[in-house]
Amino acid sequence: MSTHSIPVIAIDGPTASGKGTVAHRVADKLGFHYLDSGALYRLTALSALRRGTDLADEHALAKLAEHLPCSFTGGNVILSHENVSDAIRAELVGNTASKIAALPSVRHALVGLQLGFRKAPGLVADGRDMGTVIFPHAPLKVFLTASVAARAERRYKQLIDKGIPANMEDLLMDLQARDDRDTHRAIAPLVPAEGAHVLDTSHMNADQAVDEVLKWYAAAMKS
């Protein structure tokens, strides 16, 4: 099977829209591989913060991204043999990731890494430019969204459940700022891909969203 014939479901959307949970469950249901592309930017951000890399040094950040020793194993995110699944979800790491994701050299450095996840029998990739840039010919492209209030509430619950202090007002402001940055950046702005199905999950649970994506995929495979 050639790489281009391996099916891809590209799921894009803003922070805390639920795309990670939905993408992971869809991958499990179909027996596909899973790519959390946002984690790659968060891993780059975490590495930069830990190393004290100058966040204004685009070249240094790109070199860091290019040689990222990472893997996804059993639902965990591994960096140099360390499970950093929780560490990369910290708000500082998320904010830093959003900023460096706007840098062309960093995005370019991570393209090859992302394309390498396309393996048989298929891939579910979630992020912000999976359907627009990385996998523009994916047979199914989904743009998962939700209101800022719904997303802030989800993020608040995630953080509190993990024992991480959180403030709802701060989360709302952070999400609004991140949305503005992601949608207005010059390189690969956050927008629905051409032909993408838009799914608003503000009033849906994860199971309902997964069922909708699976229906769309089944229909796409028949056409």
- Does 19 carry a binding-site annotation? yes
- Does 53 carry a binding-site annotation? no
Distance CA 35, CA 122 (A): 11
Are residues 98 and 16 in contact, defined by beta-carbon separation less than 8 angstroms?
no
- Does 14 carry a binding-site annotation? yes
- Does 15 carry a binding-site annotation? yes
CA distances (Å), 223 to each of 140, 148, 203, 217, 220, in order?
11, 35, 29, 10, 5
Distance CA 206, CA 5 (A): 29
Are residues 45 and 100 in contact, defined by beta-carbon separation less than 8 angstroms?
yes
- Does 138 carry a binding-site annotation? no
- Does 63 carry a binding-site annotation? no
- Does 21 carry a binding-site annotation? yes
Q: Which residues are annotated as a binding site for ATP?
A: 13-21
Q: Which residues are annotated as a binding site?
A: 13-21
